[in-house]
Structures are given as C-alpha cells and as structure tokens.
Amino acid sequence: MTAAVDPRLEQLLLDHADEMLLLVAPDTLEIRAANRIARDRLGYPSGGLVGKKITEIESALADVFFWQDVSQGAAGDIDESESLYRRSDGGLLAVARTVRRISADGRDWLILRVRDIRREKEVAADLAQLASQLQATLEATVDGILVVAPDNRIVNMNRRFAEMWGLPENLRFRGDDSQVYDFLAGKLRDPTGYGSRMEDIGSHPDADSFDMLELSDGRVFERKSRPQYLHDQIVGRVFSFHDITERVAGERALIQARDHAEMANRAKSEFLAMMSHEIRTPMNGILGMSELLLDTPLNAEQREFTGVLKSSAEALLSIINDILDYSKIEARKLAVDRADFNLHALLEDFADLYGIRAAEKHLELTWQMDPEVPALLRGDPGRLRQILVNLVGNAIKFTERGGIDLHVELIDAWDGEVQLRFVVVDSGIGIPEGALERIFDPFEQADGTTTRRYGGTGLGLAISRSLTELMGGQIGASSVEGNGAKFWFTATLERQPPSARELPLPGEERLARLAGTRILVVDDRQANRDMLERQLAAWGFRPAVAADAETGFAMLKQAAADGEPYRVALIDKLMPGVDGETLGKWVRATPELIGTALVLATSAGERGEAHRLAEGGFGAYLPKPVKRSLLLDCLLTVLDQDPQERHADHAIITQHSLADARRGNTHLLLVEDNPVNSQVALAMLGQLGYTRVDVAENGRQALDAVGRLVYDLILMDCQMPVMDGYEATRAMRQAGCTTPIVALTANAMVGDREKCLAAGMDDYIAKPVKARTLADTLEHWLGSGAKPDDELPLDVPAAAADEAFDRVMLLENLGGDEALVAEILRIYVATAPGYMASLRAAIAAADAPAARSAAHSLKGASANAGARLLSATAKQAELAAGGGDLAAAAALLPAVEEHWRAFLRAADLPGA
Amino acid sequence: MAEQEHWITPDQLQVGIYVYLDLGWMDHPFSFNSFKIKSDDQIRTIRSLNLKRMRWDPARSDVQPGSPAPAATAAQAPAAAAAAPDPTEDAAAKAAEVASIEAARAAKQARAERLRQNREQMAKVQQAFASASATVRAINKNIFAQSKQTIEQSEQLILQMVSTFLAAPEVAIQVMTEKPGGEEIYLHAINVTVLAMMVGRELGLSPAEMNLLGLGCLFHDIGLTEVPSKILLKSEPMTKAERDFYEMHCTYGRDIAKRVGLTPAVQNIIYQHHEHQDGSGFPQHLKGEAVDPLARIVVVANYYDSLCNPPNAANALTPHEALSLMFAQQRSRFDAKVLQILIRCLGVFPPGTVVRLSNDILGLVISINAARPLKPNVIIYDPEVPKHEAIIVDLQEENDISISQAIRPAQLPRPVFDYLSPRKRISYYFDADAGKQTQAA
C-alpha cells in the first residue's frame, strides 16, 4: 500500500519468469497477452502471438473438448494437465499447463501457466525404456529370478520363476508375500526346513547362498542367491533358481551305467578265467593220458592210434589257446609277464625245434642275433616265443622251397630298456598286395582258399599284433606275391640289472689267442653270410665271405698266395652250381691250401655222411642252423688240431664228437651207497659218454670229495647211511659249493621234490633211473650239447610189473651188456640177503626206522637188478614200517622170502 | 508387484480414503475394486462386507484413517455399534445399516442387469456389422459381373444405414471384438462409411447428401482393382513409378464408377478422396474450396482409418495416436470443421484404444457415444472375472474415474493382452440405440 509498485520491475519479473504465461479471453479464445518466454518459446519473438486463437496453439486432442467447453461457458480450471503446444514453425512442444479463470475489472480472463516438460518426458521415457529393458533381461534368462527386499518382501520376479514353481496367477499379481512363500514351501518335499533356511540366509545379508531344493514332484532345483548392492549398501537379495532335475537324473544314470559296466567287466574276467581253466583241464587230461598211454605196452597199431590222438589233442589245444587269447584281447584282459630270461637261449631253443620242422619240408632255417642285442632281458619270453612261433610257423607253412631267416637287431637303447626288431623273411608264396592290410585282422587270411589249403584259425597274426602292442611295439609285413614275404615286429624290453651276468661260453677265453685269424665263409644265401661274418668278427676273427664256390676258391688261393691264408673255410653244402662238397675236393686237391681246415655246414644231414666227408677232407661237419656254442667249439677244436694230423686220422669232427668230447671231459660225482645202484648208474653214464665219474658211498665222503675237487655235476642219492643226501647237500651249499646237484630219489611223491629243492638241490631224477631222463637232465645242467643221439638207448616199454625177474629190462637198462648184467646180479645176490636179514632183525627188535631203512635198501637194489616182484613187496614193507605198523611189516616177511626164491629160480641162480 | 502396503481396519474408514477391496467383482456392489470413498453410505457398505482389514493408498487419499477402535472391540464395526450403551441409537444405527446393506445388494443387482443389457446390445451391433459385411463382400465380388444389381444392392444398404443413422437420437461407434466365424472381418469400406456418416450426421447433411456420401464411401477404392496387388501389399516404400501407378487408382475409380452407372456426384467423391486442403493430395493437387465438400469428409475418414489399419499391421497407430497425429501435425491437410467433428465424435481416446484409468485399472475403450465422447464404455481387465463375462464400465456413471493415458497394446503384460484382446484390425459399426440404455438405470 505505501510502497509504489514499479511496473517496470513487475515487467522484469514477468519477462524473466521461467514459466510461459498467457492471458486468454474466454469468449473469443484469443490470446491477449503473453510474457517474453512464451513469445520466445512459441516462436513469436517479435510479436504475432498476441491475437492468435489459443486453439491454434493448443494441439492435444483433449484440448479440442476443453476449449469447446470453455467457449460454452464452462469454468475451465485445470491443474497441470499435459498438452502439446504448436510453435510458429509447426513444431510441437510438450508442456504441462494450468488454467485459472479470474475476474478483473468486471471481465473474466483465463490465465495459463505453461511449463516445458520435454526434459521430464525424456527422462520418463528413458526410465520406461530402462525398466522394460530390465524386465526383458529378467524374462530372457533361463533361470527363475526372485528379487526380495532386506525384509524378505518380494520386489520382483520373472515369468520363469512363476512357471517353474507353478505359481497361480492370482498369487503372481495380487497375492501377498506370505501366501507366495507358503505356496513355495508347499511344493517342497520337506517344507519344514524352508522357513528356517530363509531366516538363516536373511541373517547373513552379505553372504552368497547355495542350496539344492527337492520338490515333492521329483524335480530338483539349484538355488543360489547374492546380495544386491547399491552404493555399497545392501538393498536386497536376488535368488536364482535353476532346474537341474535332468542333470541330476543324468548323473544318476551315469553312475548306474558305470556300475553296470564294472559288473559286466568283472563278470567277463571271471568267465574268461573260468573258461580257461574249464577248457584246459580236460585238454590236459586228454594230452596227459595219451602220453601216459604211450608209456604203457601197446602194439604198433595202438601206438599209431595213440600218436594220432596225442597230436590231434595238441593241435586242438593250440587252437583253443588261440581262441582264448583272442577272447582275452577282445576283453582287454591280455597282459604280458615280466620275468628274467635269456633271449639268446630262447632263440637257440626255438631255432632247434623249428629247424627240424623246416628241414622236414627241405627248407633252411637260419637265424642271427646281432651282437649289440643284449641277451639278458626282462619281459615275457613266453609271449615273445608265441609271436615267433606264429611268424616262423607261418613262414614254414607258406614256403615250398628256399629258406626262412630270422634276424634280431637293436634299434634303440636307453636307460634300462632296449627296443628290438625281429624280422622273419621267407621265400614262400608271398601275399597279394590287397591282402597285406587285412592279414592282421582277426579271422582274415590272405584269401579263403588259404584256409582250406594251409589250415589255421586266422587268429595268429591278430594275436601277435596285440601282443606286440602290449610289448610297446608294432608289427608289419611286406611282400610281393610269388616272391616271399617279410614279417617284422618291434618290442621294448627291459635289460636285466647288471648283477645278472651271462655265463661265459666255455672256451671263449681261448679266443683271445686266436684273434685276427682269417676265416672264409662260403654260402649262397646272403643272410647266412652276414650272420656268420658278424659273429666271427665279434669273436675277434677276421672273416671274409664268398657267395659261390668259384669265388671262394679264388679267394682261398689268393690269400694263400698273399701269405695270409684262411685257416678255416666254413662252407655251405647245398649251393646252386658247385656245391660245398665239390669245393672241398678242390681245396684238398690244392697243396697250397693244406693249412685251410674245411668245415661243412648243412641243413639236411644224412646218415653215414660223416664218414664220406671225412674221406673228402672235411675236418668238421655241422648242422644248420649252427648253434653259436657249437660253432665256437668246432672252430677252436679245428684250429687246435695240427693240420697234418687232421688229415691222417680221418676222424671228422661232428656235433656229436664235439659233444662227446665235452662230455668226456665232464667230471661227475656219484653219491650212492647201494653197490647195485651205483653199478647200474655208472654203466648208464658210461653209455652216455660220461666217463669221468667219481663215486662216494655216503654224504660224508661226498663232502670230502667236493672239498678236494671241483665237479661239473653231482648225482646224489637221498637215502644213505651216515649222512643222507639232503644233509650233504645242505652242507655243501653252506660251504659255498655251486655245483649243480641232481637228486636220485626212489620216493617220487609230491613233497619230495620240494624237499630236495629246499635242501639246495637243483633237480631230481626218480628211481628207477631211465637212461633218457638221465641224458636229458645232464645235458640241461651241463650246457648245450648235441641233439639227443638216435643211438642212445631208447626206453623200452616195461613188461609186466610183477615179474619175479625181468631180464629184458635189466639188459636194456645196461645197454645190452651181458657181462655187466652178470656182474650186477653177482653183486645183488651178495648183498640182498643181508638187507633181508636186517629187516627181520629190525622187526623182531620192534625197530621201525631200522626196518624201514632195510626195506628201502632191499627195494632199490631189487628194482635195479630186475627183481621187480621182490622190489614191490619190499616197498610195501617199507611203507608199513615207515608208518610204524611193524605187524604189517612182519606179515610181509613170508612174501619177501617167497619172492626172493622166485627171483633166484627165474634168474637161474643157485640158492632158490 | 505389491508395493509398500498399508492396511486399515473397517473402523478406520473415512470419506476421502482411497481404499482397495480385495474381493471378487460380484462380492461387492461397487464398480471398481479400488476407489476413493465418497460417502458414509459407501463406508457402511464396505463395513457390511465383513473384511477384517483392507488396503488403502495414502498417496491417493485426501485424509488420514481414523484411529483404530480399542483392542477389545476392534474386530467389527457392527459389533462396536452393538456394544454402544444407547439402545435407541443402536437400533437406529442398526436400521440404517440394514438399509444400506439392502441398498448395496440392490445396486449390485441393478449393475449386473445393466451389464447384461449392455452385452446384449453389443451383440446386436455385432450382428448388424456381420450382415453388412456380408453384403459389402458380395458387392465387391459382383460389381463388374452384375453391375446393375450390385448398384441396387448398395443403394439399398446405404439407404438403410442412412435412415437408421438419421433417425437415432444418439449414435455410438462400437469397436468389434468378437470374431464371428473365428476370423477377423475388416472391411475398409465399412469403416469409412460408418465414420463418414457419423460426421455427416453431425454436419446436418440431408438424406440425399448422406446417400451420396455413403455410396461414395462404399466405392471409393474401387479403382484399386486396377492396381497390381504386388504394389499394394509391398512392405518396403514404393518406388516413384509404383507411387504414380497407385495414385492412378482415383482416376481408375472414377472411370469404373462412370462405367457401372454411378452418378457424377459419387464419381467426384471417388475421384477426390485423396485430395488435401493444402494441395498436398493427389491426383489433381486441389486446394481448399476446390475440393468437393462431401469428398472432404471422405478424405478425413479414409485417412484416419488408413492410419489405424495400414496394409502392414506393424505400422498401425492406435486410434488415439492416429487422431493426435492428424490434429497436431497434419491439421493443414484437412477441412478444420470436419476434423473437429471427427474428434468430437471419437473422443480423445477413440474406440479400440487401450487405456489406463485413473484408478490404475487397464481397459479397452469399446464404444463411444458421439454425444458424450469423453465418457466411453470401457472393458476393464479383472483377472478374477472370466473373460467372456468381462466387466464393461460406463465412465459416464463413474464421476471419479477418468482415462489417464492411452497404452500401446505391445506394452501390455501378456495376461492383460490376452484378456482384452485388442485386435490387429479395428472395425467399427454403429449403435443406433445408444441413447436408450441409460434410461434403464
């Protein structure tokens, strides 16, 4: 009232107000006044706005109705309603406006207050966009999401959550939270724990949670939750639910499947093991019985039939073994052994056996092991041999002429292990190229006809492949059809630790003296030349080779002319063109070559050849494949001989003579108290060529003997007075004697073997001793000798077991020596009554041990003398007395007398 | 989801409190489940519902709730009333209470009855639409083969519509929701005819003029039969050549109309139905007064329907958006009066618009009475009520409730969308009995 209102200042207010202000006449709807900001914003800075109708500015649909109402007299007060204002350029402004009707000076006016809300609208739009994006994100996830506030109030959930839980619609949109939670809990298998778990989670607001929820309908959910942070404040928690029912089911199924598979695997193993046993047992029965049958008296026809039975059974067993091996491969149950063995010995034995088979088809089998290949290895010799049997067996099977060569070479060596390659080359029918890939597949042969012609299961190579793979190697083949085949395989084997030492070949020490000696090898086969050349070089000789007789002859002459003659020529007998025998004749006909000793090697030996060759000037004659030891022996012997003497005495060195020489040099000790027994033994040994035999009558004497001399082998009787065999052996071993000891025991019962071995013996022979057994055992323990000689006495089938006197057997045992028979009988007649008297006395004195001992001695002596009936009776008495049953023993005395008299009668001896 | 909830007990109810009734629609007599309490009657009615407690929205309430009754008698107002010492007051209160309960029940029944009538009426309109569609289909098929009969048929139809239109005291435009035969029937010609007639009626055209207008609407796009459908159905924008071809359909239409024997006035309408007031139309680029008055009406109706039902449904605008666009930004193209009338007939939220009411309920505007365009009938979404029995609210009767905004159908939550099923193509027909319903109440 007092202060004057300055209109200019008021104008200032108006002009700088943020809002647009308009004054409108309600009757005409014309804009009568507008403030600066209105003019500017609406695009009429220099005028033009005043005088326009407000309906031209207001452009929202609702405005149409509003202004219609106003023009018809309606009051028209509006608070903050949105509208669109049209600018002068046609653009639109989003505004919010308030309309008030006022009265002034008797007139009504409408005041419009208008606010630009574009920014607000943009923000709102952004917000809406963000919110819908958030919602879209929530809806797009595979998991069910539940967002709760710190007080567990439900803030948001996505559709998936509702779907997973089967939340009904009314709970989704309108229900209260406790209803929702109750519904969720109701779905669980165990609803009770739910509430407390939720509290638990709630009480650790900043921790993540993880649960597995099991629903009553069988589904399983994984529930994880994390706190929701806003500026480091926890404002809620987000739960995510993931349906892992399938995963859990999958896991269970997997576990089940695995258990199933394990069970099946176990069942397979058990089956295989059982089948192996079940099949082999009757097979062994058949084989064993057929062998035993062969030992019994059979006529020729029966013998033949039994022979066929036996070989059929062997063939069947081999097929069965193949099949079992194959099943093992299929079931992945094939495993290789780990044992110490001597590769060289294995190959020698193998070559021995298969050399014969090859020879049967007039084929040559040669083999060589490179000197670098260590012999002392650790691996599975049985399986290795199995592969060789397969490959070489096949080679022989499919080769009609020519030969098979086995070569072992060293590929690589490293810490404690070596990798070897075995190569078998044959000159057989070959394999067509297309078949090369297939032959290692099971049941494959090169073609169907092969099976019919050559037989076989088709499994051999497949098994060999699996075996080589188990040995860390590979197998392969190459061939040209019609032109032989080459099969090779590699294997990784361990070396035996250095403590194992290969026994040096006897005689190798003598090599040192002969180093550099020139030796010529004449052989048409490259493989043989290579092998021999390498071996000779390894021994320190100076070898050379010639591929045929002419070249060889030329070389011999040349060397002699040069003043460095070949001292030995190693000649192959069977050569195309000029053969070895002819070459020998040439050499003998050449005076300059008198210093060259001739050694003939042949794969096909004939009887009586030795003599002829000796006439032809050959100093030695060896079978192929040549055994390393034999070759060395031969060379040493030959080189030892004086050339002049050699030819004079026409005595050709053969494998037998070499073996004989060896045997003749062998020093044996026989420990046996019973004179009959020892005579028999000596006779046998003599027959076999062992002439240096010392005899000890009891263990004590044996000990003394061993103390003085080193023997090559000891034959030890077990039951002896003073000191028996076991004790003596133990004593010898303790004293450090390492000589092989072979027990001679009359008690061939189970447990005896173990007893002998436990005492320190190396082997045992059952009494009555058979010549063949003795020969084999001696050869085994005295190192490789010759092949068993045909001339060795065969074990003749025994006659009836209860003969009073079996003269035939006695004669055979003593090699047909009548004089010896008489001597044996003399000794027996002299000593037997003494045993019988001791027996009677012991029984009378109720001395069971003494009775047993006497009966034992009587038994042995009687058996050796052919008094089989008496021997049997004495055995019964021995058993009775040994069991403490003296009465039974006494009861046998009359029989003893009876059988003694029967013997005397049958032997045509006095005193019956 | 639920926001912070506030609860009050019945005894705390006051006039001015915005309350939520968590009950099924049939369990209470009110139009909505949530509203601002207007009167003590309403309070009594609510109390008679025997709810232990109910939610309320402080933000939308004018007053604070009253203080709760003491614990012992907190439960029920009737019980509290019963404990009052004064027997006479007690009896009076009781009587009033009983009366209000009765009134409530009666109101409920009346409401149900009205709803049923509404539905019946709507069904009738759908029928009329179906038969009109059949006729128009037949016309389209036979127009060239049997021109004379077809023209006669058309004239019959238009005659019928015109007489009904002009005779009715009030006309409502209703959106078709049913799908008779399971398919959506949409005939552009019918839509345009209905809209144009409505405008024509408001403009006070004579029956003869209305007839011409009707025929013109029916045949306005006949020229399109000469334009390859390849061009018409393109989703990418047309090339210049294609555009020119398309614009020829006005000329072709006029020629065809001439051929089949339609009057020159109708030919004119057909020829000019794409001309704009500002000369931006085609084919002649006429301006202002040069455009035939009747054609001007067709221009507006046609344009509006094309915005709501374009060839590619993905480009469709909601009726609200279409009208806003025409009014706010393209005003210059149209005859101002015609546009105004169209707006006044269709309202701010024309039939077919999905809306959010001021009480946050979602609904679909189903019919607009041209006399009261701002108070349409709205089908509201209530999950408690099965879809085929959906509630139709007459905003005329709900003074406190208004439409707060239009919503794009795509923004609706799925269950709401399925419930309201706003159709891809909006079809209209008219309800000539619109005025009679309100008298039943």
A64 → closest Cβ in B340, B384, B411: B340
Chain A residues in contact with B329 by the CB 8 A cut-off are 59, 90, 92
Encoded tokens for B196: 């144009």
Question: What was the pLDDT predicted at B399?
Answer: 76
Please judge whether B383 and A68 are an interchain contact, meaning their C-beta atoms are less than 8 angstroms apart: no
Question: What was the pLDDT predicted at B72?
Answer: 45
**Searching chain B, which residue's CA lies closest to the CA of residue A146?**
B1
**What is the rounded distance in angstroms from the CA atom of residue A384 to the CA atom of residue A658?**
31
Query: Strand, helix or coil at A281?
Result: helix
Q: Cα–Cα distances in Å, from A466 out to A329, A462, A780, B306?
A: 7, 6, 33, 83
| Residue B368 host element (H or E) | strand B362-369
Longest dimension (CA), chain A: 187
Weakest-pLDDT range from A748-757, B131-140, B185-194, B313-322: A748-757
Query: Strand, helix or coil at A535?
Result: helix
Please judge whether A177 and B329 are an interchain contact, meaning their C-beta atoms are less than 8 angstroms apart: no
Q: Cα–Cα distances in Å, from A649 out to A611, A635, A645?
A: 12, 18, 6
Question: What was the pLDDT predicted at A123?
Answer: 92
Q: Total structural domains in chain B? A: 3
Please judge whether B328 and A84 are an interchain contact, meaning their C-beta atoms are less than 8 angstroms apart: yes
Burial class (CB in 10 A: 0-12, 13-18, 19+), A681: buried
DSSP state of A690: -
Which residues are bridge partners to A213 per DSSP? A221
- A55 contacts A29 by C-beta, under 8 angstroms: yes
Same domain, B192 and B299: yes
Say yes or no to pLDDT of B179 above 80: no
DSSP state of A58: B
Same domain, B271 and B324: yes
As a whole number, the mean pLDDT across chain B is 83
How close, in Å, is residue B426 to chain A by CA atoms?
A: 20
Chain A interface with B: residues with Cβ < 8 Å: 59-62, 64-65, 68, 84, 86, 90, 92, 132, 154-157, 169-170, 173-174, 176-177
Same domain, B172 and B148: yes
- Of the three residues B319, B345, B371, the one that is the final residue of a domain is B345
Phi, psi of B429 (to 5 degrees): -145, 175
Q: Cα–Cα distances in Å, from B56 out to B44, B51, B398?
A: 16, 13, 20
Residue A506, preceding peptide bond in cis (omega within 30° of 0): no
Same domain, B168 and B303: yes
Dump strand ranges (E) for A164-261. Answer: 209-214, 220-230, 233-243
* Residue B1 touches chain A, beta carbons under 8 Å: yes
**What is the rounded distance in angstroms from the CA atom of residue A274 to the CA atom of residue A265?**
14
B344 → closest Cβ in A64, A86, A176: A64
Please judge whether B5 and A176 are an interchain contact, meaning their C-beta atoms are less than 8 angstroms apart: yes
**What is the rounded distance in angstroms from the CA atom of residue B441 to the CA atom of residue B438?**
6
The answer to whether position B175 is within a domain reads: yes
- B146 contacts B260 by C-beta, under 8 angstroms: no
DSSP secondary structure, B190-236, as one string: HHHHHHHHHHHHHHT--HHHHHHHHHHHHHTTGGGGGS-HHHHT-SS
**Searching chain B, which residue's CA lies closest to the CA of residue A155?**
B1
* Residue B383 touches chain A, beta carbons under 8 Å: yes
**What is the rounded distance in angstroms from the CA atom of residue A622 to the CA atom of residue A523?**
14
Encoded tokens for B239: 């090339």
**What is the rounded distance in angstroms from the CA atom of residue B105 to the CA atom of residue B103?**
5
Query: Strand, helix or coil at A476?
Result: strand
| Residue A515 host element (H or E) | none
Same domain, B323 and B360: no
A228-254: pLDDT as tens digits: 888 888 888 999 999 999 898 899 999
Q: How many CB pairs under 8 A join A and B?
A: 49
Instruction: Return contacts of B419-423, CB within 8 angstroms, 24+ apart.
Output: B419/B381, B419/B383, B419/B387, B419/B390, B420/B354, B420/B362, B420/B363, B420/B364, B420/B379, B420/B381, B421/B177, B422/B352, B422/B354, B422/B364, B423/B176, B423/B177, B423/B184, B423/B352
**What is the rounded distance in angstroms from the CA atom of residue B97 to the CA atom of residue B414?**
42
Please judge whether B343 and A92 are an interchain contact, meaning their C-beta atoms are less than 8 angstroms apart: no
Q: Cα–Cα distances in Å, from A746 out to A296, A537, A874?
A: 20, 50, 13
DSSP secondary structure, A721-758, as one string: SSS-HHHHHHHHHHTT----EEEEES--STTHHHHHHH
Give the position of tokens 């993931």: A242
A176 → closest Cβ in B2, B340, B383: B2
**Searching chain A, which residue's CA lies closest to the CA of residue B385?**
A170
Question: What was the pLDDT predicted at A445?
Answer: 61
**Searching chain A, which residue's CA lies closest to the CA of residue B320?**
A61
DSSP state of B70: P
- The residue among A55, A61, A176 with the most chain B CBs within 10 A of its CB, best to mutate, is A61
Same domain, B333 and B372: no
Question: What was the pLDDT predicted at B408?
Answer: 85
Higher pLDDT, A220 or B314: A220
Same domain, B42 and B129: no
Question: What was the pLDDT predicted at A75?
Answer: 67
- A194 contacts A212 by C-beta, under 8 angstroms: no
Please judge whether A169 and B373 are an interchain contact, meaning their C-beta atoms are less than 8 angstroms apart: no
Same domain, B285 and B398: no
Question: What was the pLDDT predicted at A785?
Answer: 45
Chain B residues in contact with A176 by the CB 8 A cut-off are 2, 5
**What is the rounded distance in angstroms from the CA atom of residue A601 to the CA atom of residue A579?**
11
The answer to whether position B335 is within a domain reads: yes
How close, in Å, is residue B374 to chain A by CA atoms?
A: 8
The answer to whether position B129 is within a domain reads: yes
* Residue B373 touches chain A, beta carbons under 8 Å: yes
Please judge whether B348 and A169 are an interchain contact, meaning their C-beta atoms are less than 8 angstroms apart: no
Please judge whether A59 and B5 are an interchain contact, meaning their C-beta atoms are less than 8 angstroms apart: no
Same domain, B279 and B324: yes
**Confidence label for B55 from pLDDT (cuts 50, 70 and 90):** confident
Q: Where in the sequence is the domain holding B9, given as residue range(s)?
A: 1-68
Same domain, B267 and B306: yes
- A873 contacts A899 by C-beta, under 8 angstroms: yes
Encoded tokens for B431: 């309800």
The answer to whether position B371 is within a domain reads: yes
- Of the three residues B345, B376, B400, the one that is the final residue of a domain is B345
**What is the rounded distance in angstroms from the CA atom of residue B268 to the CA atom of residue B261?**
13
Encoded tokens for A788: 């068993």
Same domain, B334 and B412: no
Same domain, B412 and B279: no
The answer to whether position B91 is within a domain reads: no
The answer to whether position B409 is within a domain reads: yes
Chain A residues in contact with B344 by the CB 8 A cut-off are 64-65, 68
Please judge whether B344 and A68 are an interchain contact, meaning their C-beta atoms are less than 8 angstroms apart: yes
Chain A residues in contact with B340 by the CB 8 A cut-off are 64
- Of the three residues B323, B345, B367, the one that is the final residue of a domain is B345
Low-confidence ranges of chain A (pLDDT < 70): 1-2, 75-76, 173-175, 443-457, 498-510, 603-611, 641-652, 655-656, 660, 746-751, 783-802, 815, 912
Give the position of tokens 């289909």: B137
Chain B residues in contact with A174 by the CB 8 A cut-off are 2, 22, 383
**What is the rounded distance in angstroms from the CA atom of residue A423 to the CA atom of residue A421?**
6
A304-337: pLDDT as tens digits: 899 888 888 888 888 888 887 877 777 777 777 7
The answer to whether position B245 is within a domain reads: yes
The answer to whether position B429 is within a domain reads: no
**Searching chain B, which residue's CA lies closest to the CA of residue A59?**
B328
Please judge whether A169 and B383 are an interchain contact, meaning their C-beta atoms are less than 8 angstroms apart: yes
**What is the rounded distance in angstroms from the CA atom of residue B296 to the CA atom of residue B272?**
8
